[in-house]
Structure 1
């Protein structure tokens, strides 16, 4: 059995490579890796630091939960006073103008929960005299440590070595069903008034304040709402912290601050809004590349051109000269080739040494053949020769050519 050629084997292997990459792209509709410069800990993220699990919990436990992606000033105009707005570890904190809109909405009865982002937890609400700041060295040492599991000891020791790294502390709460929890923090809430909901040692970690007829809950860390915290049993205290602002019937989780607080130079095409379109474009480009680089099916017979031989070439040249109607060029080429073959230039003045043997074989007068050759050479210099005349001259020249070969004679 004949083995396939190397080129065919390479073509077959290349087809498997294209199919492999196509199979990698198709599952991206269901699962997409965390890439880009956007926030990796928002409510869309399934990573350990993301908050997707908590958002799904809100959808289950409340009458309604939704994400917001419009600017806060626009959102406030559509929020009802029985809804709870959650800012859970935003990539940026509200601007002074946005704070003014938020506080005005809370004063009229709205409920706000804001948890600091551990990467930059410092922010301040000036009208309420409340701020979140980093723990100093003394406060970090006095916070009671949580008994971490062995699998978390390496991460804990690494965090403790950082100046503002997260600490796993044993915190106390006012919630009856979760009086003690593991609280990861690197900051504290400073507020002369307000009710302390969660504390770690002597530091306040979550505080509730009343503003007008609304409520505001400020937390020093958003790690309690992460997917990892939901796995470790933090779902109950996280939900109770949302309830502390009021009955959590309708909850809005803000993503506008995450979207506007992160660079979109690279992450725009893999943003959740445009991600399906990006995947479809990649699949289309992949299929187009596969189609252009691989031959599907047998080669079309119409694309195989027959190989031309010398006879076909001669026929084509003759047809071109026939259509042109001028045989001078063909006659010139034939006379030149014949004179070269007879070596007439080498016998100038003694042409009879070449012509006499030819005349003897043709049984003609040598002077007659010499006159005919002169006439044929003269015709090659004329502007145009009729093709019939050219045919007669070449026919007679061919007889001379045959007679010039030894062993040929005209019978």
Structure 2
């Protein structure tokens, strides 16, 4: 039984539904039913979204989530704690480059033989997997110079040592004592000391506290320095500190080795995981207000592109277009085509078929009859057709050359129709 007949059998008036069937079907729209506001005004939801985003951006003027400052302790940096000066000093006597290979894949990506890796003031201490990779790399002949970030306790992984800031020289004003063939005026900023390094050779100490210790491991060696400041741009400018930093790097290259015999790699793999330089600069207090205003402009631009302003423009549908409009549209399409040879070839074939000039042997006779036996015009027509045929076989044909031949054939066709 149909729903209509069921309603009639229940005594319901025509056009209404049985109450038992209302749960299965939606109620019909009546005269008083209205669509939701978001359907009547489709711009409402995008405006609310973009408005909320703009409000969040404006709120950044009052509260901005903390973003760490960009790191300056890198070999690219010319700031006080950077290592750009050391990089350029070593570059004069050795092949120096920056290593971006992850430390846990060092054995796969960096050859240990004749390579010296410098890890100076990284943003964090290496984890267990990275220390194991460094230990294996040193055992296979690699040379390591490691200076941890200040204030961090570093157990040095499998090297069985420790760098701790809790211990150090009792009087840091005492000049450092060197176990190196070097003399001069030095300044050392301690950040702790190197302890518990079995079999290690102390190269630099201060007030009896080991500051730079050389440890042999397998075929290679590792130099652990308690403080990274001796390699920094600021301390290299003091006295003979640049000679001390150079001598430490040279000593880490191995006995009897010079810097000409090794490749020096400044590790930047740990720095790549810190705050990006551009992000840190743009959202630090000096430029934060300008960056927030630029973000707000992007919000307004997104809102402007997501909303429709003014009444809907109704496109007039026409059943047909003028032949001139079709010709212009086709001409624009063909002009944009990159295959000019194909366009000229198709037009030439159409043109020869239109004037029945497909056969080369009968062209002169047909052209003579159409051009009233004018020998000069016949020769010019044959030459134009011949040049167009040659151009149609050219692999790389320019737009202007193809257009010139098509125009010449079109003008010739007008002469043949007279």
TM-score norm. by structure 2 comes to 0.47
Considering only CA atoms, is the larger Rg found in Structure 1 or Structure 2? Answer: 1
Greater relative contact order (Cα < 8 A, sep 6+) = 1
TM-score norm. by structure 1 comes to 0.48
